Amino acid sequence: MTGPVIREVEVKSIMTKSGLPVSEFVINPYIGCTHGCMYCYASFMKRFTGHSESWGEFLDVKYWPGIRNPEKYRDREIFIGSVTDPYNPEEERYGRTRAVLEELRGSGALISIATKSDLVLRDLDLIKSFPDARVSWSVNTLDESFRSDMDRAASIERRLEVMRIFHEAGIRTTCFISPIFPGITDVKAIIMRAKDQCNLIWLENLNLRGGFRKPVMEYIRREYPQLVPLYEDIYSHGDMGYWEALDEELRSFMAGLGLEYVVNDDSMRRPFDAPPVVVNYFYHERIRKKASGRR
């Protein structure tokens, strides 16, 4: 590979109305993502972008007119990075995520950022200027070998270290344990590693309904052949038994740690220094949009 195909594109607006449970608006400063995660749900975007390159091998860099009247977003939930990583490696050169943060600075907008990068550390002071800002890092393994098979993002240790730095700086942090690979992801180990440096822990199961089902299943057959029957039960026959059993196991585990464990609902506000709330999102079809409110 010689590097991703990069284009600079003009868009009419950087702000999009959101149908997500966690926000009213979304911002994606890029189209595509060069982290190239094998399981990326956002790969569906290729249907609309006209790119012939494989997912992870292209990136469109967005330029937009300035955000008009940013104050109108005061107290509105804005999620940055719903279908791209706003801190992909090219952000260091193009700075489009930083540009939108600078436009929104002082607006009173309630921002949440999702990433797998430690580049976000560059913008710590800027992010800290937003009220009740939240940053989440995806961590679905502590095994760097498995991680490197899945993505080209920052190492797990780098993600966890910058999570610690943000938390100590007073910024709300989330450890997003996603996607959980059945029989591979050690959820308990990740929780034990992250629980003292985050305000929320989200749990989400691997969903193989996208075009990435084939490469993921090929990977499992090649690297974890003993798990093929389990994956066939879950993803070919719709058996929820694994997730229901894991749900019960984690509920007991959290009780032993003294951590609150809830399903599909993180709407409760908590003091910053309270223990993290663990939120189970295994049951996608039961998720309902909740009333807006910071956590």
Full DSSP string of 1-44: ----EEEEEE-S-SEEE--STT-SEEE-SEES-TT--TT-GGGG
pTM value > 0.85: yes
Helices (H), ranges, 17-90: 46-49
Contact 35, 116 (CB under 8 A): yes
Mean pLDDT, to the nearest integer, of 205-213? 88
Lowest mean pLDDT: which of 4-13, 64-73, 258-267? 258-267
Best CA proximity match to 183, nearest among 238, 121, 228, 128? 228
The pLDDT value recorded for residue 45 is 66
pLDDT band of residue 295 (cuts 50, 70, 90) is very low
Q: Cα-flanking dihedrals φ and ψ of residue 54, to 5°?
A: -65, 155
- Lookup: tokens for 218: 């090929």
The pLDDT value recorded for residue 44 is 67
Q: Cβ atoms within 10 A of the Cβ of 119, count?
A: 21
Mean pLDDT, to the nearest integer, of 133-151? 97
Neighbouring-strand partners of residue 295: none
Best CA proximity match to 167, nearest among 276, 280, 88? 276
